[in-house]
A and B are shown apart, each in its own frame.
Chain A
Amino acid sequence: MILPLFIIIPLLSAFLIAIVSGKKDNFANGLSIISALLLLFGAIYNFITQNQEVIIYKIGNWDAPIGINLVQDSLTIFMLIIVGLISLTSLIYSRQYIRYISTDWKYYSLFMFLITGMNGVIITGDLFNLYVFMEIALLSTYALVAYGGKAEEFEASFKYAIMGIVSSTFILVGIAITYSATSTLTLAKIAEQIPHINTKIVYLVGGIFLMGFGLKAAIIPFHTWLPDAHSSAPAPISAMLSGVMIKVLGIYAIIRIFYNIFGAPEFFLNIFMILGVISILIAGFLAITQWDMKRLLAYSSISQIGYILLGLGIGSTLGILGAVFHIFNHAIFKSLLFYNAGSVEMTTETRDLKKMGNLKKLMPVTSKTSMIASLAISGIPPFNGFFSKLIIIIAAIQSGHPILAALAVIGSIQTLAALLKVQRFGFHSENKTEVTENKTSFGMKFAMITLAFLCFAGAILIIPGIREVTLDPIVEVIKNNGEYMNMVLGR
């Protein structure tokens, strides 16, 4: 599938939903599921046919410095598949869940704008274009977080909007400084100019971008908006935010800028390592203390982002492999956990773990899938999370950071403790609830079972034969950071 279609399909369906839908959401839901399916299959088709080469698409047939480039390499396709997968299950899940809030087409239109923004950030090869698509994704999430229409949801959305605008301003200032120093906004051209400019400017711009994109990725100490926003949003949106959005706007942009453009300076890699470990420990500790189920999961997201950042910061092949694999795994099990939280909230009408009771018998599918996801996120073999965390920890030891490795192991135990708390109080306690009806529908069960299956199946990505075609090319893109520039500029 040609590259601009990844932006055109969701954008067109967003507008078509707005034009055609009447009062009901049937058409909107159907069209959005079809376009998410098209995006997922398109990404998989590109993965099969790409042959590990970089594909450049010139919009309007203008060359690089004048026009905007769209770039497709292994990392791009990997992220597109994650976005497609999680948005498809999220839309299937939404069909009943959103009717519980309202029967309106606006949700689906905003959802499609969110996908547009994220796909745009992933495939663009232009720094300012990245900023524009990021704003599209953010503006639609501000509205989606407040979709339930309760007071605390508006508060969370407002807080998120303020923090989002602050970080976007930092990014815009960073882009302005980069432009004044290099006279170009095309990512590959900037990468070409970076060795020729003053290193102080690189550090200044790097620091500003770290603040901006660090806020998007919710790395501690830039995390304060995340627990509110991710726990107040409707469950499918929480899954999109925690599963995909913080990785696309935060981690993916950090990879492109710090690895492919700046060429992975040692100074920033050390900062990533330290911030990663701080995020793992502090967020893991904060997660244990929460009694609100979705808030606990939101804090645990920060801690898992810490693992990804630690893997990236180590910078060795093994570390990056672990980080990339953990991006995929975390998208799957965290989305699944938010779907579980959503169906529990729908049935019991509470998110407070103390008020939940013996849901094991009432909601067998939700209970079992959440057990699988909890074990996977805590790093219990044979689930996918075990392998990615193991690789990151081994990479930390190999690169001579045994203390960081030990702290990462402690973080994993914290995650286990937090998620066992959910299991113990949410699903297996003796506390009897008055709820007798399970409101989980077929679509919601389907989404949960699909992702629970992927928690098992995801582990096969690490088997050597499969890893060489799936994960290794991505690690190659990040590790050989100069290669991106040469491939895009056609050398």
Chain B
Amino acid sequence: MDNKSGMTIIVKTITRITVPTIILYGCYIIFHGHLTPGGGFAGGVIIALALLNVMIAFGRKFTNNWLNINFLEKLESISATLFLILGILGFLISSAFLFNFINHGELFRLLSAGTIPVLNIIIGIEVAMSLFLVVWVLAGLKLDKGEEL
């Protein structure tokens, strides 16, 4: 790792410890979206912030090596497409667009509420990727104006 880019060693060490925890917490918020407060959007924002945390602490170049940005761009579009496909399945399988066609299960169980957890996961990916990429692109524009990375 290049020690010169990014912030000091203290920030980097703390980030290395906290980022997995933040991502885990984001996943928790997403997976329990149908049971507790939160859901796809809130969890997605948390995951995006964890990724941005890495970008701020370690710098753009490290993050570019660590993450496959092109893949994330595709993932963003793919998750939105999956949401639409799930909606279309609603009226192909049953009666209406976005109809909840999976068995609703038992209340307060993790695997319940039909399509809602699936939609929450898709929304989580979509929000995480798009929020991260928006900031990524904006930060890139600022760098392009001055000298290269």
Contacts and interface: CB of A to CB of B under 8 A. Distances in A.
Interface in A46-66: 57-61
Contacts of A2: 91
Contacts of A4: 87, 91, 97
A57 B78 CA distance: 27
B116 to A, nearest CB: 10
Interface string A1-38: 01010001001100110110000000000000000000
A12 B97 CA distance: 14
Contacts of B99: 60-61
A488 B73 CA distance: 41
Given A18-B77, A19-B74, A59 B84 contact: no
Nearest to B88: A8
Given A60-B97, A60-B98, A15 B81 contact: yes
Nearest to B75: A19
Contact of A12 (B73, B81, B94): B81
B80 A15 contact: yes
A16 B77 CA distance: 8
A2 B95 CA distance: 12
Contacts of A11: 80, 84
Contact of B96 (A15, A16, A58): A58
A8 B95 CA distance: 16
A59 B80 contact: no
Interface string B90-106: 11001111111000000
A15 B77 contact: yes
A2 B98 CA distance: 14
Contacts of A57: 96-97
Nearest to B95: A61
B14 to A, nearest CB: 36
Contacts of A59: 96-98
Interface of A is mostly: helix
Nearest to B76: A18
A57 B95 CA distance: 11
Given A58-B96, A60-B98, A60-B99, A8 B87 contact: yes
Interface string A322-335: 00000000000000
A35 to B, nearest CB: 13
A4 B74 CA distance: 25
B78 A19 contact: yes
B58 to A, nearest CB: 28
A16 B88 contact: no
Contacts of B94: 61
A18 B72 CA distance: 12
A16 B99 CA distance: 23
Contact of A60 (B73, B80, B84, B96): B96
Given A15-B80, A59-B97, A60-B97, 15 more contacts: A4-B87, A8-B97, A11-B80, A11-B84, A12-B84, A15-B77, A18-B73, A19-B78, A57-B96, A59-B96, A59-B98, A60-B96, A60-B98, A60-B100, A61-B99
Interface of A: 2, 4, 8, 11-12, 15-16, 18-19, 57-61
Nearest 9 interchain pairs by C-beta: A18-B77, A61-B96, A4-B97, A60-B98, A15-B81, A19-B77, A15-B77, A15-B80, A61-B95
29 contacts: A4-B87, A4-B97, A8-B84, A8-B87, A11-B80, A11-B84, A12-B81, A12-B84, A15-B77, A15-B78, A15-B81, A15-B84, A16-B81, A18-B73, A18-B74, A18-B77, A19-B77, A19-B78, A19-B81, A57-B97, A58-B96, A59-B96, A59-B98, A60-B96, A60-B98, A60-B99, A60-B100, A61-B95, A61-B96
